[in-house]
């Protein structure tokens, strides 16, 4: 039988669309504060926002006669007609947030406008509303306790308090980055985490949040017109293996947008390796009618009227900024989508004929017998041209080293075929086995730095590293806290002392935040993940030209393990076998 739902149940269902977790509440409250023209926002949370979320601002406040309406569903001062949906000037506009939050928490609000003598207090507990006059400063303070106390099915799906806190911290960081004119303060479990004074200098705010190490490596970027682009992109040397330092804003609203992120990445061309991601903080300003922000309940995604125009504008602006600031010859994309990348050096055109080659992931026992593979080498050299490094052939057991291809692969003649070896993946496996054995049989050795290294981190990275200092100490690191958001690095494990220490620490922080790491149950599992990281970062790199002596040593090491394993520590194969039979079939000899 069809029944009409109660208003209480309707409110709880609707709240699920808006209030997914504590960070969802924080987002709605901060948006309201910014829309109220606040110049000071203080956020206090306890237990990851599950027990308490308190947000106070010095905005324009809510009039006494409007206070009760503020917590009614679909009641708002920000839009009044359908046409307004296509001309949204504020961060909030649906009139759902406070009603949704109040439906699933112990809710209280205090507010006062500049003209009013006294403020207004609202409290909702167990669905009952109480309104009283109160003494309070100009602005609004919202206090949420026991989030999801009346929706246990939703509460049990929340993550740990530390995970929920990290989500809030990332969100708070986004708002603070794009609003340097506001003094933001974050208090977690009674401790001040961030206290960012107002500033007119956007770069200064970036420095406050992301640290001076990043701020000093940023390039200003800008484009004027109907679409305005402003912000900063990072120099190639601060590219990261994650996207934590990428911030996209559309009309001052933090969004996730694949089109813009892809355009920025492609704008760097070959300046950064494919596996790394550029750092950027970009704001796209455009008339509201050119972008629809009403496409997602959490307003984290937008839809552009002309996404191709946005893509090209972002791509070209990034390329021009890099051209003007990096002393390399860069080919700029002018129009159309046929030539999206610029490159720093010419690439050899691919041969017109590329036969399909199949391969098997595991080896058969290759017995010695006369081989005719060497007869094809001259032909291969002609095809590969400058991308093949010929050299005096080295015999290593039954294998004959023929050369290096594209500075990434070793070509080896075996008794029954050709082996193509991924130099990075193979070296990574060899180092991983070496490090693992060393860690098991002896104490981890540290290498003290000649000069201690100062490291400034973003707020989220700072929290992760502080929580992991004891663990890292056991792996050979000597890191001490220096001030609120800086660290001094005194020593690192011997295996890592040849690397860029700052990038290494950032990479490890990324691993510490990674789901695989958080799921690791034992200390040994966590150590294994860090050992994998050390092996990956210290191994011969893809696109690295290596001397014949290094190639020979690598092959000798591979021969010692090939019968047991032929994958890197992450499970990717490091060797491909192309048999004589497969060659014959590809050349239609069979």
Q: What is the pLDDT of residue 355?
A: 34
The three-state secondary structure class of 373 is helix
Q: What is the pLDDT of residue 227?
A: 92
Q: What is the pLDDT of residue 139?
A: 95
Q: What is the pLDDT of residue 202?
A: 95
Structural domains present in the chain:
7-196 (3.30.565.10), 202-325 (3.30.230.10), 348-590 (3.30.1370.100)
Q: Which residues pair with 447 in a beta bridge?
A: 492
* 22-to-49, 105, 166, 458 alpha-carbon distances in Å: 5, 11, 11, 21
The three-state secondary structure class of 393 is strand
Distance of alpha carbon 22 from alpha carbon 24, whole angstroms: 5
The three-state secondary structure class of 191 is strand
Length of the chain: 590
Q: What is the DSSP letter of 533?
A: H
Query: Does the predicted model carry a pTM greater than 0.85?
Result: no
Residues 53, 45 contacting (CB under 8 angstroms): yes
Distance of alpha carbon 24 from alpha carbon 101, whole angstroms: 9
Burial letters for 208-226: b for 16+ Cβ neighbours within 10 Å, e otherwise?
Answer: bbbbebbbeebbebebeee
Helix 202-210 vs helix 161-178: angle between axes, to the nearest 10 degrees?
160
pLDDT in tens, the chain (590 residues): 666 556 565 555 555 456 889 999 999 999 999 999 999 999 999 999 999 999 999 999 998 888 877 777 555 655 555 555 555 666 655 557 788 888 888 999 999 999 999 999 999 866 778 899 999 999 999 999 999 988 888 888 888 888 899 899 999 999 999 999 999 999 999 999 999 999 999 999 999 999 888 899 999 999 888 899 999 999 998 888 788 899 999 999 999 899 999 999 999 988 887 878 999 999 999 988 888 876 666 667 788 889 999 999 999 999 999 988 875 444 444 443 333 333 333 333 333 333 333 333 444 444 344 444 444 555 455 555 555 555 556 778 888 898 899 889 999 998 888 999 999 999 999 988 888 887 776 666 788 888 888 888 888 788 888 878 887 887 788 999 987 778 999 998 876 766 778 777 877 777 666 655 556 557 777 778 778 877 887 788 888 888 888 899 999 999 888 888 889 988 889 999 899 988 888 888 87
588's CB contacts (< 8 A; 6+ apart) are: none
Beta-carbon count within 10 A of 268 CB: 24
Q: What is the pLDDT of residue 473?
A: 81
Distance of alpha carbon 107 from alpha carbon 127, whole angstroms: 10
Say if residue 80 is exposed, middle or buried (CB neighbours under 10 Å; 0-12, 13-18, 19+). exposed
Distance of alpha carbon 517 from alpha carbon 227, whole angstroms: 42
The three-state secondary structure class of 148 is coil
Q: What is the pLDDT of residue 519?
A: 60
Q: What is the pLDDT of residue 564?
A: 85
From 281, 105, 323, select the one nearest 176 (Cα to Cα).
281
Residue with tokens 């409250």: 29
């Amino acid at each position: 039988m069809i029944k009409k739902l109660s208003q209480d149940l309707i409110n709880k269902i609707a709240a699920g669309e808006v209030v997914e977790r504590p960070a969802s509440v924080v987002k709605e409250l901060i948006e309201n504060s910014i829309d109220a023209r606040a110049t000071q926002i203080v956020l206090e949370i306890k237990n990851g926002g599950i027990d308490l979320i308190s947000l106070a601002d010095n905005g324009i406040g809510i009039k006494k006669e409007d206070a009760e309406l503020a917590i009614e569903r679909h009641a708002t001062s920000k839009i009044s007609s359908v046409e307004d949906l296509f001309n949204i000037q504020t961060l909030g506009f649906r009139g759902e947030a406070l009603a949704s939050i109040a439906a699933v928490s112990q809710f209280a609000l205090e507010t006062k406008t500049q003209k009013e003598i006294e403020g207004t207090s609202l409290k909702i507990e167990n669905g009952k509303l109480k309104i009283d006059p109160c003494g309070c400063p100009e602005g609004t303070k919202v206090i949420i306790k026991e989030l999801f106390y009346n929706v246990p099915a939703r509460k049990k799906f929340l993550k740990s308090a530390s995970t929920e806190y990290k989500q809030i911290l990332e969100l708070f960081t986004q708002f603070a980055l794009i609003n340097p004119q506001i003094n933001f303060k974050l208090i977690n479990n009674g401790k001040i985490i961030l206290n960012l004074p107002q500033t007119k200098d956007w770069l200064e705010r970036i420095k406050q949040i992301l640290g001076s190490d990043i701020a000093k490596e940023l390039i200003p970027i800008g484009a004027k017109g109907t679409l305005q682009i402003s912000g900063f992109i990072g120099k190639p040397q601060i590219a990261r293996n994650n996207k934590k330092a990428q911030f996209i804003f559309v009309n001052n609203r933090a969004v996730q947008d694949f089109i813009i992120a892809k355009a920025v990445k492609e704008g760097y061309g070959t300046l950064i390796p494919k596996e790394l991601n550029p750092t950027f903080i970009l704001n796209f300003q455009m008339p509201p009618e050119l972008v629809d922000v009403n496409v997602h309940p959490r307003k984290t995604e937008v839809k552009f009227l002309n996404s191709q125009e946005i893509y090209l504008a972002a791509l070209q602006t990034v390329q021009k900024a890099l051209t003007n600031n990096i002393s390399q010859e860069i080919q700029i994309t002018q129009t159309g989508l046929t030539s999206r990348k610029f490159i720093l050096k010419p690439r050899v055109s691919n041969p017109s004929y590329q036969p399909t080659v199949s391969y098997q992931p595991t080896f058969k026992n290759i017995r010695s017998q006369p081989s005719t593979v060497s007869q094809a080498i001259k032909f291969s050299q002609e095809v590969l041209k400058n991308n093949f490094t010929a050299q005096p052939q080295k015999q290593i057991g039954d294998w004959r080293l023929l050369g290096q291809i594209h500075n990434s692969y070793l070509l080896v003649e075996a008794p029954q075929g050709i082996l193509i070896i991924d130099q990075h993946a193979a070296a990574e496996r060899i180092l991983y086995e070496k490090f693992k054995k060393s860690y098991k049989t002896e104490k981890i050795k540290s290498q003290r730095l000649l000069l201690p290294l100062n490291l400034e981190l973003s707020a989220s990275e700072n929290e992760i590293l502080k929580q992991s200092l004891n663990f890292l100490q056991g792996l050979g690191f000597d890191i001490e806290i220096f001030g609120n958001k800086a660290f001094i690095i005194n020593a690192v494990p011997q295996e890592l002392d040849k690397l860029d220490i700052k990038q290494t620490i950032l990479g490890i922080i990324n691993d510490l935040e990674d789901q695989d790491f958080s799921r690791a149950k034992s200390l040994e599992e966590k150590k294994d993940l860090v050992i994998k990281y050390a092996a990956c970062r210290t191994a011969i790199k893809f696109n690295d030209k290596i001397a014949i002596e290094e190639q020979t040593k690598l092959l000798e090491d591979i021969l010692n393990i090939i019968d047991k394993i032929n994958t890197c520590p992450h499970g990717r194969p490091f060797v491909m076998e192309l048999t004589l039979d497969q060659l014959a079939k590809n050349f239609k000899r069979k």
